Amino acid sequence: MKTLNKVTRIAILMTLFSIMIAACTVEVKSAYPASYLEEVTISQLHEGYLSGKYTVTQIVEDYLSRIETIDKNGPKLNSIITVNPDALKIAKELDKELSEGKIRGPMHGIPVIIKDNIDTHDDMPTTAGAMILRNSIAPVDSRIVQLLREAGAVIIAKANLSEWANFRSNFSSSGWSGVGGQTKNPYFLDRNPCGSSSGSGVSVSANLCALAIGTETNGSIVCPSNNNGVVGFKPTVGLLSRTGIIPISFTQDTPGPMGRTVQDVAISLGVMAGPDSLDEKTLDPNAKFYTDYTQFLNLDGLKGKRIGKIKSLGRAHHRVDSLINAAAEYMRGAGAEVIELDFPYPGAASAASFQVMLFEFKDGLNKYFKSLGENAPVKSVAELIEFNKKDPVELRYFDQELLIMANEKGSLESKEYKEYLERMFKLTREEGIDKIMNENKLDAIISPTGSPAWKTDLINGDNGRISSSSYAAVSGYPNITLPMGFIDGLPVGISIFGRAWSEPVLLEIAYSYEQGTRHRKAPRFINN
């Protein structure tokens, strides 16, 4: 028998190595229940219901089993505050509708996790992660929850978050709340999930649901999407109703979907988008609502687009720079024209935005407490501050300086507030995104969403290196982020943002990029 040559021996060794890796991967996946749900899409679940392959009850049961095993017992991600005790009852009712031929649409029977600052009128409290609200039951569903339920979605749980959506302390650890404790990153458990929609990002990334809903004032959807390797869409303020969402800023707040694919996000966006008589931002005459955003998912969506790439976000990160440069090259290869932009974010806009948030937080939070009626545990921000001083949990790690600063502000009729608001919009819209896009004839702007996840630190707080969220957040314009690669096993996202009401073109670009690159990888819960 002839001795195998070197090339053949290497080929055999590589094959054996691949088999070993595959075996290890199977072993890791099989350690958790319902592995068939890993990376499943909304469309796949929907088709499974129609064909009889799945029942809603089965899917809900299996997601609840994954929550119990992965979130509570195994890696202990701590992304969930409360599980819906009525989830299986709702699932059975939806199965009955299916058996009768009643299909509500693509979200029929789809398990969804909701950030716990969004009202649900059921047996799940709406807490914002705060001890004062740990037993607070909302009097009615928020508008977006109402729309999701009408579309057949099953709200299976409420997600942990940075307390008060990360607007309480001078510094904090994203994903920590008094009620829920610290949420962990599913890629590396000692890393931070970012926030404030921490639990939403982690739960959808870890395949504990088909879709999650977050909220953003500045970075709270896109940053956890970046750190947890998922797709997050912060829409134009006014595309989705904020009624029944515990507020920070009337001007900047918006809910938005977080999913594993651009298509899943687009499907849910069509269910939630639309005017609401109780939210005047949704009554903008320039608003553009669609009931089906999947019509904009074009494989050739990059072809002919003119895209601006922001050169620098301040604190450089050369490995992130390499990823965004590779993304730009891919887009050029797919038919887009990508130009380099000098587009620094103005510090004066951040300063004005901060003051606007202080004014609006006090006003909005006092109104929210009033909406709880006689069951409200406190009636004002001032009473909340006093409660926190006496609570053994709330000030254990972080202060409440932002609550105190907000409480010192006047009304929204004050000259000071109106001047800050006007300055903020002028700098970010007229002299910001609108100006740079018009001058360069752009369809969209791209930048890294952020840097890789930092190690969680309850002593010194967050340590994110770069962020691009303020451009779209402060202007109130749309921003979609999706995975663009990994750095030592940690995901990094690309943000695509643009003019008000430009959701269709952003989806078109994002879908084309996603389908051509396929950067998303499921986490493996590594414990360093």
CA distance 511 to 509: 6
**End-to-end Cα separation, the chain, in angstroms:** 47
Give 457-486 pLDDT, tens digit per residue. 999 999 998 999 999 999 999 999 999 999
Structure tokens at 37: 């749900």
343 in a structural domain: no
Give 210-221 pLDDT, tens digit per residue. 999 999 999 999
Please name every residue paired with 307 in a beta bridge, in sequence order, or none if there are none: 338, 444
Give 22-66 pLDDT, tens digit per residue. 433 333 344 899 999 999 999 999 999 999 999 999 999 999 999
* CA separation, residue 325 to residues 173, 318, 503, 513 (Å): 30, 10, 24, 14
**Would you state the pLDDT for residue 400?**
98
CA distance 204 to 413: 41
Q: What are the backbone angles phi and psi of residue 34, rounded to the nearest 5°?
A: 50, 55
CA distance 159 to 125: 11
Average pLDDT over residues 164-180: 98
**Would you state the pLDDT for residue 316?**
76
**Would you state the pLDDT for residue 24?**
39
pLDDT at 291 over 50: yes
pLDDT at 403 over 60: yes
pLDDT at 17 over 60: no
Average pLDDT over residues 399-412: 98
350 in a structural domain: no
What percentage of the chain carries pLDDT values higher than 90?
93
Sign of CA dihedral 42, 44, 47, 53: negative
Please name every residue paired with 496 in a beta bridge, in sequence order, or none if there are none: 446, 480
pLDDT at 12 over 70: no
Structure tokens at 502: 């430009």
Total structural domains in the chain? 1
Average pLDDT over residues 487-494: 98
**Would you state the pLDDT for residue 156?**
99
**Would you state the pLDDT for residue 188?**
98
pLDDT at 19 over 50: no
CA distance 461 to 182: 12
186 in a structural domain: yes
Catalytic member of 174, 196, 241, 502: 196
**Would you state the pLDDT for residue 1?**
36
CA distance 341 to 324: 13
pLDDT at 21 over 70: no
Q: For residue 381, give the 3-state DSSP assignment.
A: helix
Give 503-518 pLDDT, tens digit per residue. 999 999 999 999 999 9
CA distance 371 to 126: 13
**Would you state the pLDDT for residue 515?**
98
115 in a structural domain: yes
The DSSP H or E segment spanning 369 is helix 347-371
Give 364-375 pLDDT, tens digit per residue. 999 999 999 999
Average pLDDT over residues 97-118: 98
Domain of residue 192: give its range: 39-299+450-517
323 in a structural domain: no
Q: In CATH, what number is assigned to the domain containing residue 265?
A: 3.90.1300.10
* Residue 408 falls in which region: left (phi positive, over 0), alpha (psi -120 to 50) or beta: alpha
pLDDT at 131 over 60: yes
* Residue 33 falls in which region: left (phi positive, over 0), alpha (psi -120 to 50) or beta: beta
Give 303-354 pLDDT, tens digit per residue. 999 999 999 887 779 999 999 999 999 999 999 999 999 999 999 999 999 9
CA distance 347 to 46: 46
pLDDT at 132 over 60: yes
CA distance 507 to 265: 9
Catalytic member of 79, 177, 220, 451: 220
* 115 counts as catalytic: yes
Give 427-454 pLDDT, tens digit per residue. 999 999 999 999 999 999 999 999 999 9
332 in a structural domain: no
Q: How many CA atoms lie within 13 A of 333 on its CB side?
A: 9
26 in a structural domain: no
Give 133-164 pLDDT, tens digit per residue. 999 999 999 999 999 999 999 999 999 999 99
**Would you state the pLDDT for residue 162?**
98
382 in a structural domain: no
Chain centroid to Cα 185, Å, comes to 14
Cβ-count burial of 4 within 10 angstroms (0-12 exposed, 13-18 middle, 19+ buried)?
Answer: exposed
User: Which carries the bigger pLDDT value, residue 35 or residue 20?
Assistant: 35
- Put simply, whether the predicted model's pTM sits higher than 0.75 gets the answer yes
479-487 vs 490-497, strand pairing mode:
antiparallel
pLDDT at 10 over 80: no
The DSSP H or E segment spanning 310 is strand 306-310
- C-alpha gyration radius of the chain: 23
The DSSP H or E segment spanning 481 is strand 479-487
* CA separation, residue 105 to residues 108, 118, 141 (Å): 6, 23, 20
* 470 counts as catalytic: no
* 380 counts as catalytic: no
